[in-house]
A and B are shown apart, each in its own frame.
Chain A
Amino acid sequence: MPHKPPTQEELERRKIVGIHEETITDVSSSDYPWTYPGEDHSWDIEAFKRNFRIEFHQNDPFEASFSLIGCDASIANAFRRIMIADIPTLAIETVFINNNTSVIQDEVLAHRLGLIPFKGGKEGLHKFLKWWRRPEDESQINNSYYDFNTVSLRLEVKCEHNEKAAPGETDPTKLYKHAHVYARDIEFCPVGRQEKYFSGENAIAPVNPDILIAKLRPGQEISLSMHMHKGVGSDHAKFSPVATASYRLMPVIKIERPILGKDAEKFAKCFPKGVIGLEKVTKQEAAQKGSGYEGHEGEVKAVVVDPMRDTVSRECLRHPEFKDKVKLGRRRDHFIFLVESTGQWESDAIFLEAVAHLKKKAQDLEKQVINMVR
């Protein structure tokens, strides 16, 4: 029997992950050869270029949302993992504590300092600064710090009584000077060429100056210096350039039979605001036989307005009045990304960097494979 090419409807059906009351169906990817006998599904760059699309929904410095449409989960997941674990950032790595008489222990203080996100001139951060490597000979460690691999910071705070405080004052921040130590108290100490790359607007500084590091009482003091190095998220989470980088599949809501009147209003309430809209049944629809709208002209009907806003809670599947009237699903090849930057990179630049990173990894692998075959 000769193979029949799949219909448009069949092609559409293959892309949907079914979401039912108790189960989820068709979860596996089918983007590889021999999934559908008689059809050619071998990888083809031209076919990929024809079908692949990127849409940006939001692009702010600290938050970007965009869709990758027409690619396999393995690719989308690779981008997500690279964004979290492989894009380098600068963070505090070593803390030299001269004095710390606060109630917070040295180890905990050092850990807290490490987690503070910093910003600085993009050219200096991404081009000028290089990796710092621990020298093999431990005694040579003091000769391994240079202006292109280490950034030096200082934190010197001493808490004292405030003589100008009003009598009977109870607020520690008014009663004492420097009762709270904030990220903005950290001082950047440029060395060598760092003056050129990190001056004025481009200075190395905390992204969020109001991060509380410690609380002090009169007589207590924190005096320390710090070294920052470049690192990646796979080494420690403090180096990750993103607060979150995640994706979800595009929800699909298919109303199979008309949902009218009071039911339509109830149906809309089963979804987050803006997902389902209410429209009047038109004269033409009411006139159409077998449409389910006969004799309902002027009544409200439920229509899908914006499925992207749906959380796929499946609430509508719990109500018997909507039985067999609605089908829920997700598009297997539509990935809605949400990337939240910690501030060192622009959020969209993180994704572009992830693309460049994956390309580099693929080229490295190609070289290895060629060497293996030789």
Chain B
Amino acid sequence: MSREQYQVPTGSPTADGGSFKVAPRDYVSGSSDNTMHYLCGDCAARVPLDKGAPIRCQRCGGRVLYKERTKRMVQFEAR
């Protein structure tokens, strides 16, 4: 893979399953382009966070936020 500039994932995987390609799932619908979502470490809520916003869960006030799993398809050999 060439060194390209990082792009915010759009939901369509680059590597795919060929002719059996699974329809890309839109995991990030309902969010504007620069709003990232995190997962609260205390209550597991999905927390939208804008640039510069305090790192805090809006539901429980927890300060530990985890990054979400990649929206890209990941390919593995079953062995």
Please list the residues of chain A having a beta carbon within 8 angstroms of any beta carbon in chain B.
Answer: 91-101, 106-107, 110-111, 113-114, 141-146, 150, 152, 154, 189, 191, 219, 223, 225-227, 236, 238
Contacts and interface: CB of A to CB of B under 8 A. Distances in A.
Contact of A225 (B20, B44, B69, B77): B20
Contacts of A94: 17, 75-78
A96 B13 CA distance: 11
A145 to B, nearest CB: 5
Contacts of A107: 76
Contact of A152 (B13, B20, B44, B74): B20
A219 B78 contact: no
Contacts of A236: 79
B18 interface: yes
A110 B22 contact: no
A144 B18 contact: yes
Contact of B76 (A97, A141, A152, A219): A97
B77 A99 contact: no
B5 interface: no
A100 B74 CA distance: 10
B74 A238 contact: no
B76 A189 contact: no
Given A101-B69, A225-B17, A227-B17, A96 B22 contact: yes
Nearest to A144: B18
B47 interface: no
Contacts of B17: 94, 96, 142, 145, 152, 225, 227
A145 B78 CA distance: 17
Nearest to B46: A219
Interface residues of B, number: 18
A223 B25 contact: yes
Contacts of B77: 93-95, 110, 114
A107 B79 CA distance: 9
Contacts of B20: 145, 150, 152, 189, 191, 225, 227
Contacts of A189: 20
- The secondary structure that dominates the B interface is loop
15 contacts: A94-B78, A95-B76, A95-B78, A96-B22, A110-B76, A114-B79, A141-B18, A142-B17, A142-B18, A145-B17, A145-B19, A152-B17, A225-B20, A226-B78, A227-B17
A99 B27 CA distance: 10
A80 B16 CA distance: 40
A142 B16 contact: yes
Contact of A106 (B16, B25, B44, B76): B76
A236 B77 CA distance: 12
B15 to A, nearest CB: 9
B78 A96 contact: no
B49 interface: no
A142 B19 contact: yes
A101 B77 CA distance: 19
B16 A238 contact: no
B79 A96 contact: no
A315 to B, nearest CB: 43
B59 to A, nearest CB: 14
B73 interface: yes
